[in-house]
Amino acid sequence: MRMLLCGVIAALLCAVSPGFADEATPPAPANAIGTLETIVVSGEQPGPGLWKVSKGEHVLWILGTLNPLPEKMTWTATEIEATIAASQQVIMGPSASFNVKGGMLRGVFLLPSLMGARNNPGKENLVDVVPADLYARWSVLKDKYIGKDNGIEKRRPIFAAQELYAEAIRRSGLTLDTDVGKAVRKAAKRSKVELVEPRIELRIEKPGAAVKEFKKSALDDLDCFAKTMSRLETDIEAMKLRANAWAQGDIEALQALPYTDQMQACADAMLKASVIEERGLGDLQERLATLWLEAAQEALDNNASTFALLPVRHLLSNDGMLARLRARGYSIEAPE
């Protein structure tokens, strides 16, 4: 469950702003992926080059992150560390923090998981709430990646799907618990560069009542469940190819392997829940997007050099953050 609450949740939160989801493009053709099992790279790898956003003499260098990555890869971050050392600020990806009973709990998904609200209200099992054809697909994937675990059959579709996804990633030689953000933080601290963390801090009043309401409420999460099944049925080998391409700095390969990310559908299911919307959190997506863009524009106005992190899909899609900056008149250069 640690993988669910750390790796997957972090990925979901990084996806909850317009343009943060991947374009709704079909998976790469089978002949582009190949029929043999892909070998995931290991050892020292350079990672991708940096995107350059500029305004006059001021430059914003962006590293595109990817999840999952090869589990046994060691990222050689020499260029990144040098760029950070020469910068005035490092901008992390946007995040949301929730003040609950005085403690800061990161992420919309963390609260219900820790409070025991992962199971279906009314004690239904998945077979009772998921269409028969979709449940049959779930059963095949569950047998393949999890085996006989009856506890997961009690989960709401969204939580069952994310737990299955995390286990499938682990068994494929990949990891959701990447060290990229940690390495960037360490480099900034070592070079004494200011770390900017665009964050929205929200307070949930009467959290006990909110949890009780969530436990009783229904979630519109079948789209999340279905897209997760499709992703695991069709995209595992392409995930490995994407992970290899990121590790080896092959931007062309990343561009050639588009996919539909189920994470946005799962984030939407949570953010559109009545218990979330009624507490003024339904517009979190746009607020996070605005916050990051404001930090980037302020940095471009004031700093000679700034380093930033964004998921690589924002840099490759037609409606991501990079596209928004281009639309505002900034010069964009992709890594060679």
User: Distance between CA atoms of 108 and 269, rounded to whole angstroms?
Assistant: 11
CB 113 within 8 A of CB 4: yes
**Domain residue limits, the chain:** 2-333
Task: Say if residues 96 and 203 touch (Cβ distance below 8 Å).
Answer: no
Q: Give the per-residue pLDDT at 307.
A: 98
Residue 95 backbone phi and psi in degrees, to 5: -150, 165
Tens-digit pLDDT profile for residues 301-312: 999 999 999 988
Neighbour count for residue 247 (Cβ, 10 Å): 24
Burial degree of 256 (CB within 10 A; 0-12, 13-18, 19+): middle
Amino acid at 198: P
* Band of pLDDT at residue 262, cut at 50, 70 and 90: confident
**pLDDT surpassing 80 at residue 318:** yes
CB neighbours of 69 closer than 8 A, spacing ≥ 6? 174, 175, 178, 180, 243, 246, 247
Q: For residues 283 and 286, what is the distance between their CA atoms, to the nearest angstrom? A: 6
- Residue 314's pLDDT band (boundaries 50, 70, 90)? confident
pLDDT of the residue at 148: 86
Confidence (pLDDT) at 94:
86
- Asked if pLDDT for residue 2 goes beyond 70, the answer is no
How far, in Å, CA of 189 to CA of 283, rounded?
33
